[in-house]
Structure 1
Amino acid sequence: MPSDSPELTPPPGAVRPMRPSAALDTLAELEVAHEELRVAEEEVRVQQEQIEALLNRYEAERRWRNHLSGLVPVALAHTDGAGKLVDANQELAVLLQVPLPRLAGKPLSVYLQPEDVPPFRSAIRILATGAADRQRLRVTLRARQHGAARAELFGFPDAAAGQTSETRLQWVLLPVTEEPSRSARSGPGSADALGLATALAELSRLPMADDDRQRLLSRMAVLVQSAVPAATAVSITVGSPLDPQQLGSDSLVAQELDGLQLQAGQGPCWDAHATGAVLTVDDLPADERWPRLRPLLASSPVRSVLALPLREGGESVGVVNVYAAEPGTFAGESRRIAELVTAAVSGVLQSVAERESLRTLAANLEKALTSRATIDQAKGVLMARLGIDADEAFARLVALSNRLNVKLRDLAQLVVDGHAAEVIDAARQ
């Protein structure tokens, strides 16, 4: 009898057995398809996380605006395009004698006298459609307990994109007293309070409006200068004055005095950063605390200086420098307002830093996912060509990467781009 049995021919219609090489090819293709499906699922998950991060960031921005509005010594509110209160600060609740939680969702017009409602609605339409960037009304508030109270109502558009349910408008209410003199009023004067409230409202929007740090600092310097009474120039230094990370200013005067302090290696900015305390200078040319700086001040018009440290986590991370041409300017109300806007600047910069950190993290994650997808595709190519499993394919890529001193993702990209044969040959050498 012959030693080998004759090869049996399968009957018609029967499934022919698959050759071992074809089976390996099919398994490799399935493995690659599985890896591609897993990568696609990973990308969907990342997109979902990014959407969630955007929603969380929006919520953080909203909370930050509410935090800022709580610092303002005047009544602040946001309404939608129909005039319903979206949020408000405690000052408004006190002015209306209504608990703060009960204000949300109420039309602001219900707290106005009937004759003031039509002008208020007209102001809403003008602001929401972008026809004007400010509206000013004299209204009578219907306070719950103490009767009517006169007030000035200032409105600003949060976004002039046509009136919709998503439209947000900002409102500032300033009580009107019968006595016109400032000494008869408590708190900041009308112009000072409005400037402060407007500056804080604008500062709270800056992270969403501008990603350029240099331009952002310059815009903040302008807002600080507009808020602090008697200020003629403002600069913002982020980092140590010895080696600042970023600088922003509103004028050449501020830039020149910052440069003189850097040249002298001393000055109000240096001391405020080093001590973490607010520093006030009534007459800079006559001040003897900085002997190297004094001879350089001959051409500077600055007399008063208010240097306020920017703090983050209890540490000084920069300085807001407020300058004035008159001596003895920064005391009392001016200093208090400057401290409030500096606190807002610190918060905005921290918010920007957190956003930049999140963006860097997202970019690194996206790069890592892209690299991993490329490596997985390269593994699939090697599995199909060499008949090896996924672990062996990855091990060969790692070994060749180490031997050639080439990054694994770059080596994998060569395989995916059609250079698998060259890579396999190099691995065999």
Structure 2
Amino acid sequence: MSNDSPDPAEPGGATRPMPPAAALDVLADLEVAHEELKVAEEEVRVQQEQIEALLSRYEAERRWRSQLSGLVPVALAQTDGAGKLVDANPALAALLRVPLPRLAGKPLSVYLQPEDVPPFRSAVRALATGAADQQRLRITLTGRGPAATRGELFGFPDAAAGQTAETRLQWVLLSVTEGPDGSAARPPDWGHGSADTLGLATALAELAALPLGNEDRQRLLSRMAVLVQSAVPASTTVSITLGSPLDPQQLGSDSAVAQELDGRQLQAGEGPCWDAHATGVVVTVDDLPSDDRWPRLRPLLADSPVRSVLALPLREGGEPVGVVNVYAAQAGAFAADKRRIAELVTAAVGGVLQNVAERESLRDLAANLEKALTSRATIDQAKGVLMALLGVGADEAFTRLVALSNRLNVKLRDLALLVVDGHAAEVIDAARR
């Protein structure tokens, strides 16, 4: 008789009902499979989040660097440790008369006159190997047009890690004109002095090159405060506040004067920093001691050397997350052109901080992934221990772990860790109670 023939014990060949014990075994198997599937799904979800975070961080970093470099009215470029262009801004492409997308991968030296190539290559080697932290060259830039551009080329390393494929060098080019006697004249500016332009470009290049790995956030904020102060004309001191002025999460400054004025605003419960954070709008103060917008703050300023203030909100995703406070000793220090510089460099600070936050989030995701994978391995080891001690199969061992985890309200991975660490007898005893 075929194995597929109907059971004669059942009228009309109907399927015999499953015995209750067998049905319970099937349900237990399904529950075990469901729990294992949940563990596997959690691992996959964490991996997907990690991949998405990697892509998001890469795109965000590329976007903010491109946006900032596009705003700067001087030529900026980034090369690898061999001098090949990795990135450039529209100002450099305009000088070379070469479409921006076609610059990537080209050696920057091909756009220099022959006599300038050896000094440039020497500068690249010095920066990439850590032998120098800054290089300055007088070069002639030649592009597709008939005219050449004389300029000052400044170079900064991302990190002195040796000349490798990952090495990145930042370059700032200021074009200059020559007088009748061949001496260099001031480069063209955009509403402020050439020294101001150089200060802004240099600060942006150095901000982009700040090490964002494991550096302490407090030190990073203090370094950024120094760079902001060096970029904004007439400023004498700078502080950076993350979070609400009422309860700041982190603070960084370049001097005790900035710290003291921040503290007085905190004591008064009002001030330019408070308004900038609350409104998300730049607050300009021409003469702080006589400004009547903050009556509780005024009595606390009798001996303060600060007269002018720029409070610029830091944004992340459109929302204020902190404030850059730029202070000056003279009244009326921040005219429109200086405010524009401060806004540009503050945008760069915001980009750096966003990059730091994304890297920290990525590290957390990686740690969670490692924890999930370790948990799965620990659970498998615990199952093996229980199988050996109880003489049961893998499914039964996992079922007992899940049941005890639910009963004791203990996470499955923590319970499994107890078993693996030599406490299997206590776990088995607790399961029998």
Task: Please report the TM-score for the alignment, with normalisation by the length of structure 2.
Answer: 0.81
- Aligned pairs for 1:219-368 within 5 A: 219-368=223-372
How much does 1:260 deviate?
0.2
How much does 1:274 deviate?
0.9
Deviations 1:206-257 (A, max 9, x none): 3534442222211111111111111111111111111111111111011000
Distance 1:277 1:360 in 2: 33
2:159–2:211 contact (8 Å) kept in structure 1: no
Distance 1:97 1:336 in 2: 27
How much does 1:185 deviate?
3.9
- Aligned pairs for 1:9-408 within 5 A: 61-62=61-62, 64-178=64-178, 185-206=189-210, 208-408=212-412
Q: Which residue of 2 aligns with 1:34?
A: none
Does 153-162 or 172-181 show the bigger shift?
A: 172-181
Q: Structure 1 residues 385 and 164 mapped into 2: Cα distance closer, same or farther (>3 Å)?
A: closer
Q: What letter matches 1:82 in structure 2? A: A
Q: What letter matches 2:218 in structure 1? A: Q
1:207–1:352 contact (8 Å) kept in structure 2: no
Q: Structure 1 residues 53 and 306 mapped into 2: Cα distance closer, same or farther (>3 Å)?
A: closer
Q: What letter matches 1:291 in structure 2? A: P
How much does 1:96 deviate?
1.5
Q: What letter matches 1:140 in structure 2? A: T
The RMSD of aligned alpha carbons is: 3.1
Q: What letter matches 2:135 in structure 1? A: Q
Q: What letter matches 1:237 in structure 2? A: T
What secondary structure, in the 3-state scheme, does the structure 1 residue paired with 2:263 have?
helix
Deviations 1:167-188 (A, max 9, x none): 4322111111358887974344
Q: Structure 1 residues 75 and 47 mapped into 2: Cα distance closer, same or farther (>3 Å)?
A: same
Q: What letter matches 1:359 in structure 2? A: R
Identity of aligned residues (%): 84
2:188–2:194 contact (8 Å) kept in structure 1: no
Distance 2:195 2:131 in 1: 24
Distance 1:184 1:348 in 2: 29
1:64–1:204 contact (8 Å) kept in structure 2: no
2:200–2:231 contact (8 Å) kept in structure 1: yes
Q: What letter matches 2:93 in structure 1? A: A
Task: Please report the TM-score for the alignment, with normalisation by the length of structure 1.
Answer: 0.81
Q: Which residue of 2 aligns with 1:17?
A: none
How much does 1:139 deviate?
2.0
Deviations 1:252-279 (A, max 9, x none): 0110000000000000001111111001
What secondary structure, in the 3-state scheme, does the structure 2 residue paired with 1:208 have?
coil
Q: What letter matches 1:196 in structure 2? A: L
Distance 2:329 2:267 in 1: 21
2:229–2:235 contact (8 Å) kept in structure 1: yes
5+ unaligned residues in a row in structure 1: which ranges?
Answer: 1-38
How much does 1:189 deviate?
2.8
Does 179-188 or 277-286 show the bigger shift?
A: 179-188
Distance 2:382 2:198 in 1: 63
How much does 1:418 deviate?
2.7
What secondary structure, in the 3-state scheme, does the structure 2 residue paired with 1:222 have?
helix
2:239–2:252 contact (8 Å) kept in structure 1: yes
Does 59-68 or 320-329 show the bigger shift?
A: 59-68
How much does 1:164 deviate?
4.4
Q: Structure 1 residues 381 and 120 mapped into 2: Cα distance closer, same or farther (>3 Å)?
A: closer
2:43–2:369 contact (8 Å) kept in structure 1: no
How much does 1:402 deviate?
4.2
Q: What letter matches 2:121 in structure 1? A: R
Distance 1:247 1:401 in 2: 44
1:68–1:204 contact (8 Å) kept in structure 2: no
What secondary structure, in the 3-state scheme, does the structure 2 residue paired with 1:138 have?
strand
2:113–2:140 contact (8 Å) kept in structure 1: yes
How much does 1:303 deviate?
0.4
